Amino acid sequence: MKEKFIELEKIYSSFTKKAREYKDSQACQKGCAFCCSEAGSIDITTLEGLQIKKALNALAKKQQKSFTKTLHREMRKRERKKIVPCPFLMKNKACIIYHVRPFSCRRIYSNHICTSQKPPKVNRHVMDIAKKSILALQQLDDTGYSGHISFVLHMLDTPAFLETYLNGDFKPQQIMVFGKSHKIIINKMML
C-alpha cells in the first residue's frame, strides 16, 4: 500500500501542475466552501478512502467518535438523495482532512463566484485533464471501487471488506448488494 500512496500523490501533483495555468483565473477565495456544501457529490476511490481513514484515526478518540456518528448521519441523508454539506467541513469553513482531501475536491474550482443559480464553472481543458487523472486513480486502485465519500468510507469500516481490500484480493460479490443500491463503481470495469 505504501507504494500506492506514493503513486496517489504523484497523480495529484501531476494534475495540479497541468491545471495550474487554467486555474490562474479562478474566482475561488479562502472561506468559500460552496463546493463543499452545495455542489453535490464528492466521489472517491477506495485507496483515497483508506488515506482519509488513516487521517481520521490520527484524531483524538472523542473526535473520531463524533466523526463516526456524523458520517453515519451523512450516509443516511445521502441515501435519501439529500444534498448536505461534506461531513469534513468545519464550522470555520475549513476542511479537517485538507492534507488528504480526495481528487474530487482537488479538481474543482470556478471561474466565477458561485451561487445556487450559478454552479462552479470549470475550464474544459481542466475537465479533460481531470478525466485522465480519474482513470489513472482507478487504474492505480485496480482491486478497489469508486463512489460517494460516505459510502466508500462505510465500506472500509466493514471489517470483512477491509480485510479483502488490504490483502489485495478482488471479491466484488462481497459488496454486490450495497454496490448496486449505492452506485458503487468497480474500478477495473472503467479501464
Binding positions for ligand SF4, rule: CB under 6 A: 36, 42, 86, 88-89, 95, 97, 101, 105
CB nearer ligand SF4, residue 85 or residue 168: 85
CB of 121 to ligand SF4, least distance (A): 18
CB of 68 to ligand SF4, least distance (A): 16
CB nearer ligand SF4, residue 106 or residue 188: 106
How many angstroms separate the CA atoms of 70 and 89, rounded?
11
CB of 161 to ligand SF4, least distance (A): 21
CB of 185 to ligand SF4, least distance (A): 19
CB nearer ligand SF4, residue 53 or residue 101: 101
CB nearer ligand SF4, residue 2 or residue 99: 99
Amino acid at 66: S
Task: Give the three cell numbers for residue 81.
Answer: 438523495
Strands ordered across the beta sheet of 43-45: 43-45, 145-148, 185-186
CB of 163 to ligand SF4, least distance (A): 26
- Residue 121 CA: distances (Å) to CA of 35, 70, 113, 127, 160: 11, 30, 9, 10, 41
CB nearer ligand SF4, residue 107 or residue 182: 107
How many angstroms separate the CA atoms of 41 and 35, rounded?
9
How many angstroms separate the CA atoms of 183 and 116, rounded?
25
Residue 162 backbone phi and psi in degrees, to 5: -60, -40
